[in-house]
């Protein structure tokens, strides 16, 4: 009798449809809790054949590159205009002369290159020589058709540079070694291994923002001032052509 009454009371409970919907609800809740984890993976699996092709990826990349190039060009023009207003040095494409390396003495007691262009082409002593990677050296002497480059590694080479990150100034001195020495003007320089060295944007002697090298070693204990060694980004041993930035 009591059994019958219980069956009667929980009759809805024993209905199979309720179990079914309860399981469905639990399953949905599981998906909700997992934030669609399995479903998204399943979708990715079945939609794989319809994913955008690599060609489309290339088009997007090209588009982004073009956009960056245009933006860089606009910023460069803006920068040049502002530098002219401040009477600071800037580099125009017309000021660059390509020259071939006709003699190379990057090792030995003299670290120099001879280029196939000279005063006839407008090159003067003190002009900066560039190679892929950054500054290679400075013109030290010229003839009518040749010019002599004092490499940054050469003893006697002294170039004012600054550390990109901390905006602190230093002098890069050649020591006949592959890695020139960076002498700091400050007793406690803000420098770390890996810092990029470039020419100062405020320089009135050198063209601005030309990369020089990367700091590889620092001796903070050296007296009277700390120094660092710089790995140059341009390599004179592999350069057959360089660019000379001539003065206006």
Partner 1 sequence: MFTQKSSFILLGAFIPFLYFLSPNWFEIEGVGPSWALLWLLPLSLEKGPFAGAFGGLGLGLILDGFFLDGVTNIPSLVFIGYVWGLLALKGPSIKKSFNFGLLAFLGCLINGLFLWAQNIISFNINSLILFNASMLHTLLAQSIITALIAPMSSSLLILTFFRSKV
Q: What are phi and psi of 195, to 5 degrees?
A: -65, 140
Q: Please report, as ranges, the residues that interact with partner 1 according to CB under 8 A.
A: 102-112, 114, 140-141, 148, 150, 154-156, 173, 175-178, 181, 183, 222, 224-225, 227, 237
Minimum Å gap between C-beta 185 and partner 1 is: 12
Minimum Å gap between C-beta 234 and partner 1 is: 17
Minimum Å gap between C-beta 81 and partner 1 is: 38
Minimum Å gap between C-beta 213 and partner 1 is: 16
Q: With respect to partner 1, which residue has the nearer C-beta, 108 or 194?
A: 108
Q: With respect to partner 1, which residue has the nearer C-beta, 103 or 188?
A: 103
Partnered with residue 102 across adjacent β-strands are none
Q: With respect to partner 1, which residue has the nearer C-beta, 29 or 103?
A: 103
DSSP code string of 34-52: TTTHHHHHHHHHHHGGGSP
CA torsion sign for 210, 175, 158, 148 is negative
Dump strand ranges (E) for 133-223. Answer: 134-142, 147-151, 158-163, 168-173, 181-184, 196-198, 211-219
Q: With respect to partner 1, which residue has the nearer C-beta, 155 or 201?
A: 155
Give the rounded distance of the alpha carbon of 137 from its chain centre.
21
């Amino acid at each position: 009798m009591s059994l019958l009454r219980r069956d009667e009371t929980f009759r809805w409970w024993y209905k199979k449809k309720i179990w079914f919907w309860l399981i469905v609800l639990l399953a949905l809740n599981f998906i909700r809790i997992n934030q669609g984890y399995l479903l998204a993976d399943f979708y990715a699996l079945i939609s794989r054949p319809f994913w955008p092709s690599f060609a489309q990826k290339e088009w997007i990349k090209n588009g982004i590159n073009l956009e960056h190039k245009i933006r860089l060009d606009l910023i460069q023009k803006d920068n040049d205009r502002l530098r002219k207003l401040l009477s600071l040095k800037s580099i125009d494409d017309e000021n660059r002369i390509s020259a071939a390396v006709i003699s190379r003495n990057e090792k030995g007691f003299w670290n120099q290159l001879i280029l196939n262009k000279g005063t006839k082409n407008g090159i003067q002593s003190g002009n900066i020589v560039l190679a892929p990677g950054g500054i290679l050296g400075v013109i030290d002497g010229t003839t009518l058709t040749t010019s002599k480059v004092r490499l940054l590694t050469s003893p006697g080479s002294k170039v004012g540079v600054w550390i990109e990150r901390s905006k602190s100034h230093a002098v890069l001195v050649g020591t006949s070694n592959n890695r020139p020495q960076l002498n700091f003007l400050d007793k406690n320089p803000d420098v770390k291994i890996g810092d990029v060295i470039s020419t100062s944007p405020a320089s009135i002697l050198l063209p601005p923002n030309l990369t020089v090298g990367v700091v590889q070693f620092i001796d903070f204990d050296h007296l009277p001032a700390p120094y660092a060694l710089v790995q140059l980004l341009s390599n004179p041993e592999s350069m057959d052509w360089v660019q000379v930035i001539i003065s206006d």
